[in-house]
Amino acid sequence: MATLDGLPPLRDVIQRHGLDARKALGQNFLLDLNLTQKIARSAGSLEGVTVIEVGPGPGGLTRAILSLGAKKVIAIERDSRCLPALAEISDHYPGKLEVIAGDALKVDLPSIAPEGPVKIIANLPYNVGTQLLVNWLLPPTWPPFWESLTLMFQKEVGQRIVANEDDDHYGRLGVLAGWRTDARMVFDVPPQAFTPPPKVTSTVVNLTPRPQPLPCDAKKLERITHAAFGQRRKMLRQSLKPLGGEALLNKADIDPARRAETLSVEEFVTLANTL
Ligand code: SAM
């Protein structure tokens, strides 16, 4: 049976190329092209946009992005078994899909990104998703090379990304994302939408860069949040002891008896700038 884009159904592609899902690579594939289109559409217009996709797998999301008019997709895939399936998509959309075989954590994305608008869209492998997001949030200079991130995470991770102070999910990720971006959850995706189904619900998160985030050294903010949330139930005078403890907090005019989860993003920035 043909699909909307004229390529074979993903179930056939997976069978023909023997792409049985590997847990170690975080492989939970999306086979419903209506759903992958919904995810791609949530990134806004893709006309004339270059998209970087991490982990295209058999190419469900890649096909959706291309069918929505992206100028080009640069896809980074670690599992070489997927390359022949991706080559078929490349043949169908000549000159529009470039596949980089390798580990996305080791690819210097700004150097492969061309001039012009770049959006990152990905159903991320769960084992490297958070690290990739942190790398995209913490380049030394801002604005970054990307104009939006549209990413699928386990719902619990999505909640941590969009969380504010006094929220149970608030932590290092919420501070780093809240500092430089507007982050919002777009919609949930139930386990049964994936093959094989994961244990938990997933969610699509959209992040766009704040044009002028509060000035702060990303490395210092990381050190502060790492220490503060590493012992989140303790008072800050205790958890921040290695970084100056009470003296640092007094200098930043923050009560040393407070706990990390009560500090706003702005207060974390003040602390980092005081460091
Ligand atoms: N995009 C496909 C989809 O939505 O059906 C597959 C998503 S699956 C959750 C994650 C994909 O990332 C897999 O294809 C896996 O092989 C790939 N992957 C895992 N670790 C990776 C890494 N470090 N760099 C690049 N790709 C990776």
- Look at residue 104 and tell me if it is in a domain: yes
Cβ-based burial of 140 (10 A; exposed 0-12, middle 13-18, buried ≥19): exposed
Interatomic CA distance for residues 185 and 168, integer angstroms: 16
For 188-213, what is each residue's pLDDT tens digit?
999 999 999 999 999 999 999 999 99
Which atom of ligand 1 has the smallest separation from the CA of 194? 5
Instruction: Tell me the per-residue pLDDT of 211-269, one tens digit each, with 9 for 90 and over.
Output: 999 999 999 999 999 999 999 899 999 999 999 999 999 999 999 999 999 999 999 99
Are residues 163 and 240 located together in one domain of the fold? Answer: no
Please count the structural domains in the chain: 2
Same domain, 119 and 174: yes
Whether 148 and 243 share a structural domain: no
Confidence of residue 32 (pLDDT cuts 50, 70, 90): very high
Residue 1's pLDDT is 56
> Which of 178, 191, 119, 127 shows the shortest CA–CA distance to 150?
119
Question: Model confidence at 2, in pLDDT bands (50, 70, 90)?
Answer: low
pLDDT in tens, 75-134: 999 999 999 999 999 999 999 999 999 999 999 998 888 787 899 999 998 889 999 999
Q: How many CB atoms are closer than 10 A to CB 144?
A: 19
Mean pLDDT of the chain: 95
Residue closest via CA to ligand 1's atom 21 equals: 78
- Cα separation of 234 and 7, whole Å? 56
Same domain, 98 and 44: yes
What range does the domain containing 201 cover?
10-209
Do 115 and 239 lie in one domain? The reply is no
**Most ligand 1 atoms within 8 A of CB, residue of 19, 28, 29, 127 to mutate:** 29
- Predicted confidence at residue 3, as pLDDT, reads 75
* Cβ-based burial of 185 (10 A; exposed 0-12, middle 13-18, buried ≥19): middle
191/140 same-domain check: yes
- 182 and 260 in a common domain: no
Predicted local distance difference test score (pLDDT) of residue 140: 87
Torsion 20-25-30-33 (CA) sign: negative
d(CA 224, CA 243): 8
My answer on whether 202 and 246 are in the same domain is: no
CATH code, domain with 230: 1.10.8.100
CATH number for position 134 = 3.40.50.150
In the chain, what percentage of residues exceed pLDDT 90? 92
Query: CA-CA distance, 83 to 77, in Å (whole number)?
Result: 8
CA distance 41 to 229: 35
Please tell me whether residues 181 and 267 are part of one structural domain: no
- 65 CB within 6 A, ligand 1: no
1-5, 74-78, 143-147, 172-176: least confidently modelled range:
1-5
Write down the pLDDT at residue 136.
96
Select from 25, 61, 130 the residue to mutate for testing ligand 1; criterion: most ligand atoms less than 8 Å from CB: 25
Measured in Å, residue 214 CA sits from the centre of ligand 1 at 34
Tell me how far CA of residue 233 lies from CA of 123, 177, 230, 253, 261, in angstroms.
Answer: 33, 22, 9, 20, 8
* Residue that terminates a domain, selected from 177, 209, 241: 209
Greater pLDDT, 181 or 4: 181
